[in-house]
A and B are shown apart, each in its own frame.
Chain A
Amino acid sequence: MSDPVSALGGARFTGFADIREIGPVGMITLRGKGLKAFDKAIKTAVGTKVPAQRRIEVAGDKACGWMSPDEYLLVMPYAEVPKALAAIALALAGQHHLAVDVSDARAVFRVEGEKAADVLRKLAPADLDLMAPGELRRTRAAQVAVAFWQQDGGFTVVCFRSVAGYVMGLLRHSAMQGSELA
């Protein structure tokens, strides 16, 4: 059997910021609210606490982000998704929830460099100055939905897989040398 491939096969661009498509990255959409064993389910799946509103809790190569009052995005290495799903199923057995593998439905980018934020300022109607460290922002980049957060001195940007080429095009256009916002 073949290995899983990301939407753009690791495309890259260097302008005033560095753009890299990464992945495949493991992702689970977890929906539920006010469940007893929620802490435990997330802890065993990705090793973090339950994030507060608009927060993302990062633990090494895993993370859990708040997507809505009843939805979380769990991030982990691609191969660990089945194990995490099993852990969630066990912890939340009998309680109303939905956990589903969405790893392949996404494309993930890293935007890095001192002026990485300028790239996103050109695409999203979000106030990046007010974005606290550890905040996950769901918004749009030009014409498509994205989510991003700051991590390791840059931004991780997530979009739908089918529009990965479009988002790469947006990031490339916005990171062109000489178009810094300063």
Chain B
Amino acid sequence: MLTLECPYCGVMADETELSPGYEAHLKRFGPGASPEEFEAYMFARKNPKGVHFERWRHTYGCGKWFLAARCTATLEVFGTYPAQVSAPPADIIAKIQARRPNWQPDWQPDGKAPE
């Protein structure tokens, strides 16, 4: 059972205070999107063994959504951060790379996924 620090409350929240929201930083595709884009938005989810970005809601606390960078294999948490960003902030990236030197972001600075 995880503990994640809610970046809004500052409490180390027990997993039972939280609700999971699955993969973070999805870009919404609405009307006008191609079938491929829409399919990816709806169904294509990463399932890495390693560094992963997730959405969590502090349901029994402040009620806010936040994002977490953690390792799905070791359960190490690299950091949590507010949800109002389209890509992980630089300090989170730095924390991940300090512990996983070979890890590289798989998106580009504009928030788009690489080709």
Which residues on A sit within 8 Å (CB–CB) of B64?
Answer: 68-69
Which residues on B sit within 8 Å (CB–CB) of A145?
Answer: 59-60
Number of A-B pairs whose CB atoms are under 8 Å? Answer: 34
B75 at the binding interface (Cβ < 8 Å): no
Which residues on A sit within 8 Å (CB–CB) of B14?
Answer: 125
Partner-binding segment picked from B5-13, B29-37, B41-49, B89-97: B5-13
Min C-beta distance of A48 to chain B, whole Å: 20
Interface residues contributed by chain B, number (CB under 8 Å): 14
Min C-beta distance of A105 to chain B, whole Å: 15
Contact present for B17 and A54 (CB under 8 Å): no
Q: Tell which of B8, B9, B10, B17 touches A125, judged by Cβ atoms closer than 8 Å.
A: B17
Contact present for A67 and B62 (CB under 8 Å): yes
Min C-beta distance of B84 to chain A, whole Å: 11
User: In whole angstroms, what is the CA distance A127 to B14 when docked?
Assistant: 10
A139 at the binding interface (Cβ < 8 Å): yes
Which residues on B sit within 8 Å (CB–CB) of A53?
Answer: 9-10
A20 at the binding interface (Cβ < 8 Å): no
Contact present for A69 and B62 (CB under 8 Å): yes
Contact present for B60 and A54 (CB under 8 Å): no
Contact present for A138 and B8 (CB under 8 Å): no
Min C-beta distance of B13 to chain A, whole Å: 8
* CB interface residues, A 79-138, toward B, < 8 Å: 125-127, 137-138
Which residues on A sit within 8 Å (CB–CB) of B9?
Answer: 53-54, 68, 138
Chain A interfacial positions (CB closer than 8 Å to B): 53-54, 67-69, 71, 125-127, 137-140, 145
